[in-house]
Structure 1
Amino acid sequence: MKKKISLLAIAFLFLFASATQAAPAKNQGNIRVYLDNQEIKFQAAPIMKNGVTFVQFRPLFQALDYKVNWNSGNKQVTGTYLDQKLQMTIGRKTAYVNGAKTTLQIAPFTQGGNTLVPLRFVAEATGLPVKWDSKSRTIKIDREGAIDNATDEVKKLYHAIEEAGNAKKLDAVMSAFHPKSPVFAEIQENYQNQFKNDLHVSADVWEVTVAGTSIHAYTSVTLERTSGPFAWDATLHYENLLKKDASGAWKIYDLSHYETEYLVGDELLEAHPEVPEAEQKAIVATIDTQSKGFNDENGPLLMSVIHPESAFHEMFRTSIAEGIFDEVNFNLKSVELRTVFFQGEDAVVYAEETDDADGEIIHSTSLYWLKKTEGKWLIYDVLELE
């Protein structure tokens, strides 16, 4: 009897110990991953390995808007977004973030045909903070918070640009730009030209995203003439890439101008400035000469009334050289020419014109900006109105 009891006791203890060891795995449940409030779905459940959470690489990268590439030859995973690039290799602890080597705590691996990568490393390398809730066994990637912080940084820079732009302080404006920016000299020259006019500067920021060591944002800068030489009122739309400088401060690293929205108000269109009769005749004669140059297919005559610093000067010269008059017929006629701005060496003319060279009458409405150069009015710019 004693021997049987001992055997029963051993069996009982064995079952108890097994149940005790199995309990944690049973109670742990699956790890769930959220990007903000949206759960990221994985075909294979996330795995905890020595305190590091591993997930399938493709769903994670795609949720973060990264383009995914898998090289089966060298078993390398690559994720790219804007100027960011993450590279990891199966079985190796060495990873690369934008070409810089870093060491992982545990190497990526494959299990059940799935490639698994360390979640925290990927998320933080893309610039997003990660929080682990042990009670609910959830991992939260906070993209919204990162974007809010990034938006504040971009707004601070553009607020500084507004203030410095209105005060015409070139050094203060340029302090918003990264000293190693590939467009630094070009931006500086643009602001030097802008400060020749009296303009009110205002800015807006939208669609900010975080991409690892960079911030991507769309912005607009509105320039409105207040006094002085004439300039079009316009909103310039930009695509921005920000990076931190040596001090760790965010600066505009790259800036791409992709659209200009001209602002033409009734105040300009309905203006009736006093224009000396001789000047008005000379202004009208310049526009008529342009029409005659087109109609008579006379390149030299046309070019004689185009300002040499106008963007149209090179455009017309090239078009004439390439035989535009052999391909297109013109019969331009002015229906109305009315000067709406006249000050110093600048004049703006509201023009309604027609062209019926091909039988069909085409109507157009434009604003001609003329500049007086060496006593002669020349066409500097033309803005077509809708």
Structure 2
Amino acid sequence: MKINLNYSHSVFFALLAAILFGASTPFAKKLLDQIPPVLLAGLLYLGSGMGLYLFRLIKDRSWQASGLHQKEWLWLLGAIIFGGILGPIFLMLGLKKVSAADASLLLNLEAVLTALLAWIIFKESTDRRIISGMFLIVAGGVILAWPNQVDSIPWQGVLIIALACLCWAIDNNLTRKISTADALFIAGSKGFVAGMVNLILALSLSLSAPGWVAVSYALAIGFIGYGISLALFVLALRGLGTARTGAYFSTAPFIGAAIAVLFFGSTTTVLFWIAAFFMAVGVWIHLTEKHEHTHTHEYLFHNHSHVHDPHHQHEHDFPWNGKEPHRHTHEHQPMTHSHPHYPDIHHRHKHDEG
């Protein structure tokens, strides 16, 4: 059996996204002594958006089209509204009701809600193996975030944090709908809007402005830990679908905790190692997944970067120098075959129940 390089690359993108985002947490936490939380969130997101826009401009040597079709702009708008505006607002409102430790625990709901929406609303394929793997990864996150003293959490705070998680879950699923477009543009747009929203919130609270050195550090951390991470997350969505990408990304809290231990002298507990075991087993279950059956590809017309694998046997109506991968609008004719596959952009077909 041939190795599915697209799948392997997508898993790498998802895990690298988790590593970068997780690694940003202990570094960003160091800035909380100088920058209030709402303002820091705004600077991190703004660094993400501005950094990706600038990187994209330099890479392409000019401002290029986003690759979004007319109808897809609505999906991006929805992702920005839920993920870049409502999510951060609900989170900040929730943090007024619950402690940071309780919030960290509740934020594990995002992965669960992302998967449930993907499976129930957006009809993404799954099986018991994927569900059990995701359960173990999320359980590891819950164990890692479990506070030393469990107090009664105000139900209003729980509801508000849950709403934030629901907004980000909707954002993740809507982003999957446009994951064939330019990942840098998508991630940059979401980061820029989220940054502006949080900065407006910070101004409305009359928060004091930090020094330029701290601001520069925050923007740099945001570019790497939020911007590049989110762009990689979008790339992973292309090859893995929403639920699987979300499950891999849920390892980010453990990665952040591990980096805090290695570089900032944080101590480990028994719960840390139990969480590590749960997450490792969950990731292993996902990595060893094999999904194969006879399936039919319907006619498809879209634009994305590709090589000429069995799914991309098409003619070109323009001069082509033979270099791969390359990007252009192309057709997929109906085809029925069987091979290992995952819910990537070419395998979003229905499955028979049972």
Under a length normalisation based on structure 2, what TM-score does the superposition of the two structures give? 0.22
More strand by share: 1
Q: Which has the larger radius of gyration?
A: 1
Q: RCO (CA 8 Å, sep 6+): is it higher in 1 or 2? A: 2
More helix by share: 2
Under a length normalisation based on structure 1, what TM-score does the superposition of the two structures give? 0.21
